[in-house]
Amino acid sequence: MKRPNISPEIYNQHNQVTRRYLIGLGLSGAAAITAESLKANDPKSSPADDPDSEYLTPSKEFETVERGNPLPYKLPLEERLKIGMERKTWRLDIIPDPDSNTKVESPMSREINTALSFKDLMKLADEKSVKFLKVMTCNNMQTPLGMGLWEGVPLRDVIWKSKPKENIRRAFYYGHHNNDPKQKFQSSLPIGRILEDPPGDHPVILCYKLNGQWLSGKRGGPVRMIVPEAYGFKSVKWLKSVFLTNEPAANDTYADGNNDIDSWMKTMSLFIHKPDTAKKGQTVPVTGVAQVGVGGLSKVQVWIKPKNKEWPKEDPYFTKAPWKDAKILPAPNDWGGELPEGKLPKNVRFFTEKGKPKHWPMRYTIAHWATVLEDIEPGEYTVYCRTIDDKGIPQPLPRPFRKSGRNAIDESPLIIQS
């Protein structure tokens, strides 16, 4: 793909809108390589070199999955103050489930005026706050919603303040829902997951900042749950209530939606830029993004299949195809996303003192990748991309079923003209 023969204004505009579109998908860094590789036809150009490229998604550019009528953040300020959807008046209940035999010594409850205030949360934050990278992603959508730097207080530090005593197996939690049970969006976790983090995982947090800024109402503020390894539905927005319960089973809103609600995030890959046609002899730049799930990410691979070639039914995931490795791009230098000078703050989990990631790609983030296709004979093709996890297992394995998270192999047509 050579630079098209059009005026620089149109060309720049084109780059800008494709970039904006990609930012909207939470995939901003890839836009730069799109532009770069189209311009220079150079596979080595990296989004990290582009001053405009942003790894983190600005809060406003996230895709949104929300329910509620009216949405709490769209109410007038006076009303938001009344319902506790402003930092000044926000309160969180940590109480025993009234339908269970759970014992909690010092319940924090709006009813008896002992609920946790935002000030209380900030006091805890002085000593306990954590920051980590996490991609927000919905188990039944194809593209990630946005890549964020989230900050909050581990939920366990607040739960311990309520002096939980016995008969506790789970926490149920939900957000503001206009006092209409039909609008309630709830999720749950085993108490063990909250009190202790699986090796290498971040704590579940009461999140109040995204990309260094107060969490906006649209993103779930004043406070939302963030469950690092989970799909989006566990990260309840406009959080108001946590029930400790002896119930052993989940009561998630998403369970009713026929989803596998115990699923960890899956590793998978998507195309971002790939021309539909190219001329014989041209180098074809192909770029994309990988979501790094619990299994990690060791490789991204691409395969060009002649369109009419039949593939054996016994190999539905093309494990025997001649896949070729793409290049996983290094971690960015400029993290973008509203951070001053694009610099990460201190003490981001799994980063060094100098602000470098201790390893990359990092689980529960996105990684950009790029490759070029060369020497393709004229004809019609289908191009596929897939990830390989840290155990060497190719996408969509080891968990190919859709209800535990979308991770079908992405495909895209390509015509090579003679």
Ligand X SMILES: Nc1nc2c(c(=O)[nH]1)N[C@H]1C(S)=C(S)[C@@H](COP(=O)(O)O)O[C@H]1N2
3-state helix, strand and coil shares in percent for the chain, rounded to the nearest 5: 20, 30, 50
Q: Between 55 and 94, how does the x/- string for binding to Mo ion read (CB under 5 A)?
A: ----------x-----------------------------
Minimum distance between the CB of residue 400 and Mo ion, rounded to whole angstroms?
20
Name the amino acid, one letter, at 273: H
User: Which residue among 138, 153, 278, 344 contacts ligand X (CB under 6 A)?
Assistant: 138
Judged by CB, which is closer to Mo ion: 141, or 348?
141
* DSSP line for 347-393: -BTTB-TTS-BSSSS-TTSEEEEEEEE-SPPSEEEEEEEEEE-TTSP
Residues 65 and 232 sit within 8 Å (Cβ to Cβ): yes
**Interacting residue with ligand X among 118, 173, 185, 364 (CB under 6 A):** 185
Nearer of residues 47 and 232 to Mo ion, judged by Cβ = 232
Residue 27: count other Cβ atoms within 10 Å of its Cβ.
26
With 0-12 / 13-18 / 19 or more C-beta atoms within 10 angstroms meaning exposed / middle / buried, residue 358 is exposed
Q: Which amino acid is at 310?
A: E
- Measured in whole angstroms, the distance separating CA 393 from the mean position of its chain's CA atoms is 21
Shortest Å, Cβ 231 to ligand X: 7
The span from the CA of 208 to the CA of 376, in Å, is 51
Q: How far is the CB of 254 from Mo ion (least distance, A)?
A: 7
**Nearest approach, Cβ of residue 256 and ligand X (Å):** 12
Nearer to ligand X, 215 or 376 (CB): 215
Please give the Cα distance from 108 to 242 (Å, whole number).
Answer: 10
Element at 232 (helix H, strand E) = none
236 contributes a contact to ligand X by CB under 6 A: yes
Spell out, one character per residue from 37 to 76, where the chain touches ligand X: x when CB under 6 A holds, - when not.
Answer: -------------------------xxxxxx---------
The residue ranges that bind ligand X (CB under 6 A) are 62-67, 136, 138, 145-146, 175, 185, 219-220, 232-233, 235-238
The residue ranges that bind Mo ion (CB under 5 A) are 65, 138, 232-233
